[in-house]
Structure 1
C-alpha cells in the first residue's frame, strides 16, 4: 500500500508544527527543526511485503531522533538511507559522516542520530530487521554511520533497483511477489555494505581520500585534470587511476561529480546567481557543456532543477 503525506496544502506557518506532529506519531522520538516560514516536506510510505520503504523530501532541515533506551541492540532495526538529491551530514555513535548525492549510510534506528541538510534533499529509505542484514554481513555494526560511496558499482545498482521498485509501487501484485523483491533488495544492500568494506581495506583508499580533498579545494579551477590531481598528491597518474578503479570509478568521474554537486548546491542556495556564473565558478569552461552534463546527471536542466526545488 502506498501512502503520500505532504505539507503542500497548508499555510507556510503551519507546516513545521503539522510535520512534527505527524512524524512523531510515526517515528517515536523524531524531531524536525527548520526555518518555519520556508519549510516544505513530503513523505511517501510503501509497505512492500514485510519491508517498509520510505521516500522523504524536504527543504533544508535538521532531523534528529532520540534513543529508545528499552530496545536491546540485538532487536534494533537497521535503516539504509540512499541520498538521491542534495547533501547531508549524519551524526551517530560519535561518528560524523558527510554524504553527497548517490551515497548510502546505515543507521541504528533506536539509537540517537541526526541528519543536517543545508538545502533541499530527498532520500530513499528502507528499514530492515537487524537480523536480515546481520545474516548477510558479518560484523554489521562496524558499518553503522559509515559512508557507503555512491561511486561503488553495487551502490549504483541499488539506486537503479530501488528507483525501479518505486515506479511499480502502485501496481497490484501478489504479496509473495513483493516479498521476493524485498529479499532481493536485502541482498543488494548487503552487497553495498560488503563493497564498502573492500574499498576501506584496499591499499588505495587513503590515496583516494587525499585526491578527493584536492578536488574539493580546487573545484573552481577549470584546469583541474586527473594528471594535476595526481601531481599534487605526489603519485603517478596510473596509481591514482588504479585507486579510483578499486572504488568503481575514475579520476575524471570524481572531478565531474564534485563539480556538478557544487553547482547544484549553489543553484539552490543562491537563487539570484546566473547559471553561467555558477557554471564557471564550479570549474566548467562554458555554460553549454555544463548544461549538458548537468542534465545527464540530474535529469533536468539547471534552470528547471532550480525551479523544482
Structure 2
C-alpha cells in the first residue's frame, strides 16, 4: 500500500485517522478506506490540507453521501466539534458505475442518493470499540459497492491497471512509459483516463510526482531541492517549483519553511 502520509501536507495536524485495505471481494473497486474521527475543543479547529490522489472518493458522513471528484489543486477542510467520515479512494471500475463523466466532477462534491449505504455505515459507526466500528463500516461499504458495480469490464480493469501504475511507479514520468509498460497505445490510455478517472494520464503523473516531492521535502528537511527534483524526473529545480506553485500556490522552499513535523494538531 502507498505510504499513508503521502498527499497529506501536514500530517501532525491530522485527527485520529485510520486507513484500511479493502476485503478481497472489493479489491478491484477500492484502493483503500479512510476513516477520520475527531473531537475538537470548542472554539478550536483543525485545518486538513491535502494534495489528493488523482482519483475520486465516495464519502459517507453523518449528514449524507458525496462523490468527491478528482482535484486539480490543493484541497482543505476545517474540522471542528465532533465528527467522523468513512471514505473510500475509488478505483476506476467503481467510478464508472457512479458517473458517466468523472471529469464533470473535478474539484467538486456531488451528493449521491444512497440512503441504504448511508444508513448501513451510520449504524456501523455507533458504539463499540473503534476497530470493530471501522471493520463493520468497511464490510457494509464493500457490500454496497460490489452490488452497485457488478463485474468490472475489460476496459475497467485496464483502466485500473493504468491508475495503479501511474499512482505507484516512480519510474513512469511520461505517458509513453505507461503505454509501453501496459502494451497499449498512448491514445488508449488517454481514452481510459477520460472515461474512468476524469484527469489526463499526464496530470495523474504530475500529481504523483508532486505528492512524492512534498513527502521528501517534509521528511528530509536538509536535502537539496535540486537533487529531489532530479530524483523525481523533473528537468530542474525550476520545473519542480512551477508544479508546486501551480497546484499549491506556494514554492517548495516556502513549504519547507512552514512544515513542522511535531506541530500541534489543532490550530
TM-score (structure 2 length as normaliser)? 0.50
Q: By how many angstroms is 1:214 displaced?
A: 2.8
- Cα deviations across residues 172-194 of structure 1 (Å, max 9, x unaligned)? xxxxxxxxxxxxx7xx2339x9x
- Cα deviations across residues 47-103 of structure 1 (Å, max 9, x unaligned)? xxxxxxxxxx75176715xxxxxxxxxxxxxxxxxxxxxxxx623886871777335
197, 200, 205: which one aligns with 1:250: 200
Give distance in 2, aligned partners of 1:148 and 1:250.
Answer: 17
Q: By how many angstroms is 1:156 displaced?
A: 2.9
Q: Secondary structure at the match of 1:283?
A: coil
Cα pair distance change 1:271/1:126, threshold 3 Å: closer
1:211 match: 162
RMSD of aligned Cα (Å)? 4.1
Cα pair distance change 1:147/1:270, threshold 3 Å: same
2:238 match: 288
Give distance in 1, aligned partners of 2:186 and 2:202.
Answer: 11
22, 46, 59: which one aligns with 2:12: 59
Structure in which a larger fraction of residues adopt strand: 1
Q: Secondary structure at the match of 1:273?
A: coil
8 Å Cα contact 2:102/2:194 also seen in 1: no
2:214 match: 264
Structure 2 unaligned regions, length at least 5: 1-9, 24-29, 35-49, 63-73, 81-85, 96-100, 118-144, 260-267
- Cα deviations across residues 164-210 of structure 1 (Å, max 9, x unaligned)? xxxxxxxxxxxxxxxxxxxxx7xx2339x9xx988x96753322322
Cα pair distance change 1:265/1:152, threshold 3 Å: farther
Cα pair distance change 1:156/1:308, threshold 3 Å: farther
Larger radius of gyration: 1
Cα pair distance change 1:58/1:230, threshold 3 Å: closer
106, 111, 119: which one aligns with 2:59: 106
Cα pair distance change 1:124/1:105, threshold 3 Å: farther
Q: By how many angstroms is 1:293 displaced?
A: 1.3
Larger relative contact order, structure 1 or 2 (CA cutoff 8 Å, min sep 6):
2
190, 205, 210: which one aligns with 2:112: 190
Aligned residues: 169
Alignment of 1:64-213 (within 5 A): 90-91=19-20, 97=32, 101-102=51-52, 104-107=57-60, 123-124=76-77, 145-148=87-90, 152-158=102-108, 188-190=110-112, 204-213=155-164
TM-score (structure 1 length as normaliser)? 0.44
